[in-house]
């Protein structure tokens, strides 16, 4: 019995001397638990606990600024009275690309340190339980919000004691936190883009550098930062975000990079608070390098002005790997949705016997069209790169007018496949139909058209090869693009030269017309996607212009079936519509006015200050409003407003607003547009519903253009 009493006493002592094991909470994607650096806590002691997340492979949680999407991990604490639990201290984040987004977060395992202070009157010999209501968002190709109740029970003792297992791990996690460092200075210089320059010791031997802002709205997360390094530090080109004041106010965040330590590389983070000012000298001598496994290497390489994995020249093995990847990427590009319909119709022409006896020659010409167009793209890319432009695959889509033209092309091809119009007879190749020449010319231009249609798409393996190509010599770039062209052209070229394969295509019949009709819808899908891209480039005004031109194009192609005179009339409508709509498609702003929301109180306040006020009652669905704004709110009007100190207010009636409705009724209107100009007179001047620049100038300052 004495032995049992001793054993029981030992067990009780061990229970009091060590923290009770925190039970982890496990979901399908994350295992979460709390741990302490101390096995026992003394009264009044400050110590560190951690939230540990063990994240399933290919999934991630988020940093304090999650980037383009996501939500940060959040903890709400329940602790006994007197116990103080601090905020999460955020470890160095990772950049996590997904499609066109870049998120900031963590993968695999992450420890979030949190400081805890015990009250001075904590009673020894007892235990305390800290409870956290935890929430996190975990994402892969889908996002799942998860929550858990986590607890940590710690004994309180007269003398605190380290936890032998978690103490060292937590100390290392705290030591690795990004913090301000002595001698590190940072400045942010306004511009397009803004320049962040950071004086950083030993910056000459770093790689994979990126800046992570604390403010989510400060800058575009997915934009390339084109880091450069010099003897004194590192610099980043930052694209302004929603707040649009980048460079005008202090900018806080973390600079993350890898520095050489011995034979390897160590990942580091330093917290900065950049002040507005002139750039720091000696931080932009040359492009900063990226390793081949860096997640954003392709993004930065596509932007240009960076080194490829420190050492731009490829060895023979790497060169042939790039060639092979380009060839495989070209093969796969044939089945991408923006290309397949064009090539399928070409294959149908073989099935229909439209190329009987001429298939080999047409196959060779198709191959020549593909190769010539790919090499022209490569030469354009080389020329722009030599001029210092940031380019990559699909670089032409950075021009809004090219995006609009491609959308119209895909729309027209879709209409052709649905039978709205036909150029030539029978089932012909898309290229032959569009060139209206058929035969040899049609075969060549089908190849060219297929490459043009492919530019919005990127196939597997292709991105890596292109990323390498744009960092190499002109000859290497041309050879990689030639391999891409070879892979792209090969399937259809082989089909032209192999009658046995042609016989595998089903016999001609009604199914061919049905197949053509079905293939129209991927083309419409590609056109819709390009409209979305255009919306990002030009805003809703550009989309309205493109849709107007598309409607005119459809009208011209439809009436063109009735004869040459009708075709000419339709083309006149199309040309006139395009002539009136081209400015937004070039990204030219029609209006440069800075507005603020309208309210009766704001009008009274501004008039009390003696300022003239121009009020625009408008709505997104009001076509007249948008036409007026595009035609009349010109840079000259903006300058006149600025010189006369005119306040420009917008009353947006896109959604129901009873206050705006009442104001419209007060001035005898049941709808928008309505334009009011308040000068020194007591009553506002009501301008006509159809505006022009001269009328506004005359009203504001009595000056004709």
- The DSSP annotation for 410-464 comes to HHHHHHHHTTS--SSSSS--HHHHHHT--HHHHHHHHHHHHHHHHTT---TTHHH
Q: What is the mean pLDDT of residues 315-330?
A: 79
Going by C-alpha positions, the residue among 554, 539, 527 that lies closest to residue 630 is 539
CA distance 53 to 694: 64
Q: How far apart are CA 555 and CA 408, in angstroms?
A: 13
- The mean per-residue pLDDT over the stretch 167-194 comes to 92
Sheet containing 143-155: give its strands across: 74-78, 127-139, 143-155
Instruction: Provide the percentage of residues in the chain whose pLDDT is more than 70.
Output: 77
Overall average pLDDT of the 158-182 stretch: 94
Confidence category of residue 173, pLDDT binned at 50, 70, 90:
very high
Tokens for 303, please give them: 């932007």
Q: Is 556 exposed, middle or buried (0-12, 13-18, 19+ CB in 10 A)?
A: buried
> Residue 467: its pLDDT value, please?
60
Cβ-contact 2, 10 below 8 angstroms = no
Q: Residue 436 pLDDT > 60, yes or no?
A: no
Please return the burial class of 273, using the count of CB atoms within 10 Å of its CB with bins 0-12, 13-18 and 19+. Answer: middle
- Asked whether 227 and 284 are in contact (CB, 8 A), the reply is no
CA distance 542 to 537: 8
What per-residue confidence (pLDDT) applies to 6?
44
Distance CA 463, CA 403 (A): 20
Judged by average pLDDT, the poorest of 16-20, 135-139, 594-598 is: 16-20
The whole-number pLDDT of residue 385 equals 59
Residue 304 has pLDDT above 80, yes or no: no
- ω before 620 within 30° of 0 (cis)? no
pLDDT tens column, 361-419: 888 888 898 899 888 888 877 776 555 444 455 555 556 777 787 788 878 878 877 87
Q: How far is CA 589 from its chain centroid?
A: 22
Is it the case that residue 347 has pLDDT exceeding 70?
no
- Quick one: pLDDT at residue 301? 63
Residue of higher predicted confidence among 564 and 14: 564
Considering only 74-78, 296-300, 458-462, which range has the smallest mean pLDDT? 458-462
Sheet architecture: strand order including 30-36: 25-26, 30-36, 46-55, 109-117, 84-88
Residue holding tokens 């009493």? 5
pTM of the model: 0.48
Q: Which of 188-197, 198-207, 347-356, 566-575 has the highest mean pLDDT?
A: 188-197
Q: Is pLDDT at 36 greater than 90 in this prediction?
A: yes
Query: In the structure encoding, which two tokens stand for residue 316, read together?
Result: 């023979």
Nearest to 631 by CA among 551, 575, 555, 705: 705
Q: Position of tokens 């001047």?
A: 685
- Extract the runs of DSSP E, i.e. beta strands, from 577-652: 596-597, 613-618, 647-652
Quick: pLDDT tens for 608-653.
888 899 999 988 766 567 767 877 888 888 888 888 889 999 998 8
Write the pLDDT tens digit of every residue in 515-542: 777 777 877 877 887 787 777 666 677 7
Domains and their CATH numbers in the chain: 18-175 (2.60.40.10), 185-303 (no CATH), 316-538 (no CATH), 596-701 (3.40.30.10)
Q: Which residue has the higher pLDDT, 550 or 454?
A: 550
DSSP-derived secondary structure letter, 287? E
Mean pLDDT of the chain: 79
Predicted confidence band of residue 351 (pLDDT cuts 50, 70, 90):
low
Confidence label for 222 from pLDDT (cuts 50, 70 and 90): confident
pLDDT value, residue 430: 38
Rg from Cα positions in the chain: 33
Q: Does the pLDDT at position 12 exceed 50?
A: no
Find residue 104's DSSP bridge partners.
Answer: 95
Neighbours of 379 (CB within 10 A): 14
């Amino acid at each position: 019995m004495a032995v049992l009493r001793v054993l029981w006493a030992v067990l009780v002592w061990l229970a009091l001397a060590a923290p009770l094991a925190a039970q982890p909470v496990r979901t399908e994607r994350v295992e979460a638990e709390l741990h302490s650096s101390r096995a026992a806590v003394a009264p009044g002691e400050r110590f560190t606990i951690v939230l540990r997340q063990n994240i399933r492979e290919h999934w991630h949680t988020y940093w304090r600024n999650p980037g383009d999407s996501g939500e940060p991990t959040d903890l709400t604490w329940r602790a006994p009275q007197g116990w103080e639990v601090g905020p999460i201290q955020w470890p160095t984040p990772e950049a996590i690309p997904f499609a066109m987004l870049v998120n900031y977060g963590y993968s695999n395992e992450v420890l979030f340190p949190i400081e805890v202070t015990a009250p001075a009157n904590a009673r020894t010999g007892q235990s305390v339980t800290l409870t956290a209501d935890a929430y996190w968002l975990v994402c892969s190709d889908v996002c799942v919000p998860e929550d858990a109740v986590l607890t940590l029970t710690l004994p309180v003792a007269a003398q605190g004691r380290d936890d032998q297992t978690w103490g060292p791990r937590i100390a290392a996690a705290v030591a690795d936190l990004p913090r301000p460092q002595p001698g590190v200075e940072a400045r942010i210089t306004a511009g397009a883009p803004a320049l962040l320059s950071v004086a950083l010791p030993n910056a000459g031997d770093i790689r994979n550098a990126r800046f992570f802002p604390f403010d989510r709205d400060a800058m575009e997360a997915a934009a390339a930062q084109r880091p450069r390094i010099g003897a004194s530090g590192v610099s980043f080109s930052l694209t302004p975000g929603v707040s649009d004041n980048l460079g005008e106010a202090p900018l806080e965040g973390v600079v993350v990079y890898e520095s050489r330590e011995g034979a390897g590389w160590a990942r580091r983070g330093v917290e900065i608070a950049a002040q507005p000012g002139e750039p720091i000298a000696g931080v932009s001598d040359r492009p900063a390098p990226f390793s081949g496994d860096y997640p954003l290497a392709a993004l930065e390489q596509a932007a240009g002005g960076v080194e490829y994995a420190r050492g731009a020249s490829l060895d023979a093995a790497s060169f042939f790997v790039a060639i092979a990847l380009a060839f495989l990427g070209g093969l796969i590009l044939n089945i991408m949705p923006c290309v397949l319909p064009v090539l399928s119709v070409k294959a149908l022409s073989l099935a229909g016997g439209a190329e009987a006896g001429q298939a080999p020659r047409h196959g060779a010409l198709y191959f020549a069209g593909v190769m010539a167009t790919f090499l022209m793209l490569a030469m354009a890319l080389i020329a722009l790169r030599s001029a210092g432009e940031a380019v990559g695959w699909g670089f032409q889509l950075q021009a809004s007018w090219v995006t609009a033209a491609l959308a119209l092309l895909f729309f027209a091809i879709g209409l052709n496949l649905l039978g709205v119009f036909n150029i030539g007879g029978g089932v012909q190749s898309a290229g032959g139909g569009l060139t209206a020449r058929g035969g040899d010319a049609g075969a060549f231009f089908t190849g060219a058209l297929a490459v043009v249609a492919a530019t919005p798409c990127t196939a597997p393996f292709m991105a890596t090869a292109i990323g390498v190509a744009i960092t190499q010599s002109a000859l290497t770039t041309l050879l990689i693009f030639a391999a891409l062209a070879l892979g792209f052209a090969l399937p259809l070229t082989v089909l032209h030269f192999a009658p046995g394969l042609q016989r595998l295509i089903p016999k001609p019949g009604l199914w061919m017309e049905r197949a053509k009709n079905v293939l129209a819808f991927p083309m419409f899908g590609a056109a819709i996607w390009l409209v979305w891209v255009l919306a990002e480039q030009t805003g809703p005004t550009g989309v309205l212009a493109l849709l107007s031109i598309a409607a005119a194009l459809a009208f011209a192609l439809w009436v063109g079936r009735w004869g040459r005179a009708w075709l000419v009339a339709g083309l006149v409508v199309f040309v006139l519509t395009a002539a009136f709509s081209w400015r937004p498609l070039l990204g030219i702003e029609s209006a440069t006015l800075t507005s603020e929301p309208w309210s009766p109180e704001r009008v009274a306040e501004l008039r009390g200050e003696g300022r003239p006020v121009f009020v625009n009652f408008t709505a997104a669905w009001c076509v007249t409003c948008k036409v007026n704004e595009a035609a009349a709110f010109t840079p000259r009007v903006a300058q006149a407003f600025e010189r006369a100190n005119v306040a420009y207010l917008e009353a947006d009636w896109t959604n129901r607003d009873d206050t705006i409705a009442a104001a419209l009724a007060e001035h005898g209107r049941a709808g928008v547009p309505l334009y009011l100009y308040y000068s020194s007179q007591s009553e506002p001047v009501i301008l006509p519903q159809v505006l022009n620049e001269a009328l506004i100038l005359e009203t504001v300052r009595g000056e004709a253009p």
